[in-house]
Structure 1
Amino acid sequence: MNNTTITSTPPAPTVVQGDSPAAIRRARQAAGAFAHRLTPALSPRAADALVLVVCELVTNAVRHGGGRYTLRLSAGPETVTAAVSDPNPDHPRERTPDLEGGSGGFGWHLVRRLADRLTVTPGPGSGKTICAELPL
């Protein structure tokens, strides 16, 4: 990541909702567009990290969190934040990645590695929100 700070007003927060595996692509596209609307724009590396974190969090929400998600993207002076809410109150579980069978297990490891700060909070409703802050 680089040491870029936002010197002008960041774009308004972006909200994307989805309820299917096909909606994961929409979240990924929204994250890329949000990164490019920042002034100055995120470095390609930081933008890729944001898109990867969003993709992993939204994929996990669809696969393990009840089948639907709400993604909120926002930016501050030194961080960009991706918050993903889903209806399942259970916290993510870290598991050993499946290197042979292709059943996953990499997502939570990647999110934890890329995010400077990661929180899991109750709500909305009976679900949870995972908030990942990444450096600009």
Structure 2
Amino acid sequence: MTEGSTTASGTADDRSSLPTTAAEARARVQDVLDTHPEALSATVVNDILLVTSELVTNALRHGGGLTAFHVALTPEGLRIAVTDRSAERPRTAASASSQDLAGRLGGFGWPLIQRLSRSVTLTPAPPGKTIEAVLAYEAPAL
């Protein structure tokens, strides 16, 4: 993170700052985006908010709950990190099972996150994992 960057964060130790829904996470990301020195295109903002929703929803729905959430403006792009309680890697719809424990269909968000992000890293964070996505401030050239 660079000096002067704007961040929003939360951890399990500080539950008051941890988003409890994807909508709350999107609002926090939007607050950080609003501090970007240049206006971002609607496409870029929508992509960033979509990735935020997918990351947080996956943590809540498939990962045993959100244990940390961080977002920051960096020179490389907006960095979003979500930590959950499950060490299991995300699955795609083509995986052996595309349903969660409640029988709801899933597995479509992970490829979307990878496609819209400049980079995605998965790091063990026992007992779970952290997924960090970096999203560009400009729309990709077609």
TM range (shorter): 0.7 to 0.9
Query: 1:88: Cα distance to partner?
Result: 0.7
- The answer for unaligned runs of 5 or more in structure 1 is 1-7
- The answer for unaligned runs of 5 or more in structure 2 is 11-17, 99-103, 138-142
User: 1:48 aligned to 2:46?
Assistant: yes
TM (normalized to structure 1)? 0.79
The residue type equivalent to 1:46 in the other structure is V
Contact 1:118 1:132 in 2 (8 A): yes
Contact 2:26 2:52 in 1 (8 A): yes
Aligned residues: CA RMSD: 2.3
Q: Alpha-carbon deviations, 1:42-98, whole Å to 9, x = none? A: 222111111110100000000000023422101212311111000111111122498
Contact 1:57 1:84 in 2 (8 A): yes
Equivalent-residue separation in structure 1 for 2:91 and 2:106 (angstroms): 12
User: 3-state DSSP class of the match of 1:37?
Assistant: coil
Contact 1:36 1:42 in 2 (8 A): no
User: 3-state DSSP class of the match of 1:105?
Assistant: coil
Spell out structure 1 runs of 4+ moving beyond 6 A: none
Partner of residue 86 from structure 1, selected from 65, 84, 87? 84
The residue type equivalent to 1:108 in the other structure is W
Aligned positions of 1:85-124 closer than 5 A:
85-96=83-94, 103-123=105-125
TM (normalized to structure 2)? 0.76
User: 3-state DSSP class of the match of 1:66?
Assistant: coil
User: 3-state DSSP class of the match of 1:29?
Assistant: helix
Question: How many residues were matched structurally?
Answer: 122
